Amino acid sequence: MGLIPDKRTYEYLIKHALEEDIGPYDITSKAIVDTERICRAKIVAKEDIVASCLFVAKECFLTFDPNVEFLFCAKEGQELKKGEYLLEIQAKTYSVLCVERIALNFLQHLCGISTFTKRLVDKVKDLKVTIVDTRKTTPCFRVLEKYAVSIAGAKNHRFSLFDGILIKDNHIVAVGSIKRAIELCRKEAHHLLKIQVEVSNKKQIKEAIDSGADSLLLDNMVEGKDVTRLKEAVSYARSISPSILLEASGGICIDNIREVALTGIDQISCGCLTHSARSVDISLRILS
């Protein structure tokens, strides 16, 4: 389970989201609702979901109105059935109506990522493989989206370009060879950093291992449910270096992730966890 992100990493998102949606005031609610009226409301799952980032929804309301009172009806990472509640809120009706859509937008997106991630994790939970995310995240939402992944049982890959070395195809083209790229990274990296190299064929696998790579990213070796190329690459890499960490990426989805895992790969990185998870159906109901 991931650590809840520091509030400073997402409070600016909330601030700007509120400014974007409400502006100076909610013209409809201002016209209809007594600004001093207090109501009780609940946020409810309208389908089976994994609860995630409830603290973000709470912060949305508190940023607009610091007097809002909350009761968490679910825990982070908890699986909820349709009709079960995530949060209970007591506040001025005007505040609830103003913030409702912003809070739900965050929840629907982030719970969607957790819900989708859990489906993929469950596909391979009996196998010795780790599912990890990528940097294919919504700009400025990375911390929250990666948290949503981790809360559902997957792991985080590097967070940013500065906290892990991954030599990709364009790096190799830029310097001329895998060997040269690894040599340059070794000079720059401190002793705790490992070097991962993206490879797409046996020649690159051998060059990367012979040049001292710590990990290989076996890229785009999956076509639908045909994992023949990937399986051969895993076998070949293990024949040279039995202990090297192998990660598969590219073309992997919920329909083929188990076939990929059965090749003997150590990790599976899935951009779809964050860029293709659909928003789930969550709503807010004013009860009184």
Strands 79-80 and 49-50: antiparallel
**pLDDT at residue number 161:** 94
* More confidently predicted of 285 and 1: 285
Is 36 a residue of the active site?
no
Q: Of the listed 26, 100, 198, 207, which one is catalytic?
A: 198
Is 101 a residue of the active site?
yes
CATH superfamily of 7-121+277-286: Quinolinate phosphoribosyl transferase, N-terminal domain (3.90.1170.20)
User: Phi and psi (nearest 5°) for 147?
Assistant: -65, -45
pLDDT digit string, tens, across residues 118-158: 999 999 999 999 999 999 999 999 999 999 999 999 999 99
Is 76 a residue of the active site?
no
Asked whether 65 and 92 are in contact (CB, 8 A), the reply is: yes
pLDDT digit string, tens, across residues 181-228: 999 999 998 988 999 999 999 999 999 999 999 999 999 999 988 999
- CA 45, 46, 48: angle at the middle one, nearest 5? 70
Is 198 a residue of the active site?
yes
Asked whether 75 and 134 are in contact (CB, 8 A), the reply is: no
Q: Of the listed 42, 101, 158, 179, which one is catalytic?
A: 101
Query: Does 164-270 match 7-121+277-286 at the fold level?
Result: no
Is 100 a residue of the active site?
no
Q: Of the listed 40, 42, 168, 229, which one is catalytic?
A: 168
pLDDT digit string, tens, across residues 235-284: 999 999 999 999 999 999 999 999 999 999 999 999 999 999 999 999 99
Cα separation, 246 vs 234, whole angstroms:
7
> 257-261 — which CB contacts under 8 Å span 24+ positions?
257/120, 257/123, 257/124, 257/131, 258/123, 258/124, 258/127, 259/225, 259/227, 260/222, 260/227, 260/230, 261/123, 261/124, 261/127, 261/129
Domain ranges (residues) in the chain: 7-121+277-286, 164-270
pLDDT digit string, tens, across residues 64-85: 999 999 999 999 999 999 999 9
In the predicted structure, residue 13 carries a pLDDT above the cut 70: yes
**Domain spanning 164-270 has what CATH number?**
3.20.20.70
In the predicted structure, residue 234 carries a pLDDT above the cut 70: yes
**pLDDT at residue number 224:** 87
Q: Of the listed 145, 219, 231, 247, which one is catalytic?
A: 219
Cα torsion at 46, 51, 53, 54 (round to 10°)? 70
**pLDDT at residue number 2:** 63
**pLDDT at residue number 1:** 53
**pLDDT at residue number 35:** 85
Tell me the average pLDDT across 18-40: 95
Tell me the average pLDDT across 166-171: 97
Strands 49-50 and 38-45: unpaired
Q: Return the minimum-mean-pLDDT range out of 6-10, 41-45, 126-130.
A: 6-10
Name the pTM for this structure: 0.95
Mean pLDDT, all residues of the chain: 96
- Report which DSSP code applies to 277: P
Among the residues of 89-141, which ranges form H helices? 93-123
